[in-house]
Structure 1
Amino acid sequence: MKTKQILEEAIDMIQYYLKEMDQYTPTQFTWKPSEDEWSLGQMMNHLIDAAYGLQLGAIAKCADDEAVTHGQKTEVGERVYQEGVFPSIRIKLPNDPRFVPENPNDKEEIKVKLLQLQEKLKEVEPLLVAIPTERTVKHRWLGELNAHEWFQLIPMHFRHHLRQKERIDQMLGNGGIQ
């Protein structure tokens, strides 16, 4: 897939989430279905944090020649990139403060962060062509990924969390959370 197309998908996902956020009250946006599940706001912080800290961070390592030039994707990684989506499974991160995203104070801070991420992706996309594809950085489940694949992971990750959003939406509708 071409990087411009990946960028368009990422922007479409960001715009979708921005639009969807308008339907939630502040209480709904920060409501947690249970103690060990995330609110919509935490999910959004997770997407933003992963984009900056993991995906864009790995792209920067590939660009700065910090990447390795050996290794390959895992079997799961091969399947994810062939299909262009994560498997339809719930991935549970450790219940550790390092992996639990902050519950935001309000929706506006998330909107600002999403718009900033959108601009950052527009800056990064044209730089990808100059990064050698043999430079890779390891993802814990997917294996060695090059800068293009890390960039492609951003909209895939946003799409993956649509299932989580749908589950929370159903609980909000059934629970009458205002």
Structure 2
Amino acid sequence: MSDLKVIETYKSYLQNYSLEQLRYITDEGVWSIGQMYDHLILVAHEYLDNVETCSAAEEEQKLGKTEFGEHLYKIGGFPPIKIKLPDELNTPPSNSDSKENLMSRLDQVMQRLRQWESKVDSINPNYKVKHEGFGWLNAREWYDLVSMHFSHHLRQKCELEQKLVFLELTSLMN
């Protein structure tokens, strides 16, 4: 799924959630759907900031990706596993955005992706920024990571939606 198409998918699903569903936290330590959206948007901007950093670099980086980073790009996405970040990187995302604000923020991500789409391949592939888990990535790799990350979280979105449906069915039966 292309980067813009996967984000369009998230936008279409966003239309269907009530504010209560968007902010509902099913279990301690589990994000709400809204928090997942917030996380995706923040990380997409971080990745696109790194595309921009690569574009302005003046020094080539000879180091490459980690073994996991190589695997990630070889298979074209994240493996179907839950990835636990270290506690210092795992601050819960915001759970206060409205649907309208999330939609606007998704549009901003799409706008930035469109801005870089035609330029990303002209950036020297040896201009890189380090990712703590994947190693040294160039502009194209950071750009591609945006849609890989959105696609990875589709599984989480489905799990959260299933919990919402179960909760709603349970409350109807009581």
TM > 0.5: yes
Q: Percent identity?
A: 36
Give yes or no for contact 1:138–1:144 (8 Å, CA) kept in 2. Answer: yes
Name the SS of the counterpart of 2:12 in structure 1.
Answer: helix
Q: CA deviation at 1:67?
A: 6.2
Name the SS of the counterpart of 1:145 in structure 2.
Answer: strand
RMSD: 1.9
Aligned to 1:166: 158
- The unaligned stretches of length 5 or more in structure 2 are none
Compared with structure 1, are the counterparts of its residues 65 and 48 closer, same or farther at alpha carbon in structure 2 (3 Å cutoff)?
same
Write the distance in 2 (CA, Å) between the matches of 1:81 and 1:15.
23
The equivalent position to 2:13 in structure 1, one of 15, 20, 27, is: 20
1:94-173 matches, within 5 Å, as: 94-96=86-88, 99-173=91-165
Pairing 1:80–2:63 present: no
Moved more, 94-103 or 141-150: 94-103
Aligned to 1:10: 3
Q: CA deviation at 1:104?
A: 2.8
Compared with structure 1, are the counterparts of its residues 28 and 47 closer, same or farther at alpha carbon in structure 2 (3 Å cutoff)?
same
Moved more, 64-73 or 11-20: 64-73
Write the distance in 2 (CA, Å) between the matches of 1:51 and 1:104.
19
Give the structure-2-normalised TM-score.
0.90
Matched residue type, 1:103 = N
Name the SS of the counterpart of 2:159 in structure 1.
Answer: helix
Aligned to 1:4: none
Tell me how many residue pairs correspond in the alignment: 170
The equivalent position to 1:48 in structure 2, one of 41, 45, 55, is: 41
Pairing 1:39–2:24 present: no
Name the SS of the counterpart of 2:7 in structure 1.
Answer: helix
Name the SS of the counterpart of 1:176 in structure 2.
Answer: helix
Name the SS of the counterpart of 1:36 in structure 2.
Answer: coil
Name the SS of the counterpart of 1:137 in structure 2.
Answer: strand
Give yes or no for contact 1:68–1:137 (8 Å, CA) kept in 2. Answer: no
Q: CA deviation at 1:100?
A: 1.9
Q: CA deviation at 1:76?
A: 0.8
- The unaligned stretches of length 5 or more in structure 1 are 1-7
Q: CA deviation at 1:118?
A: 0.7
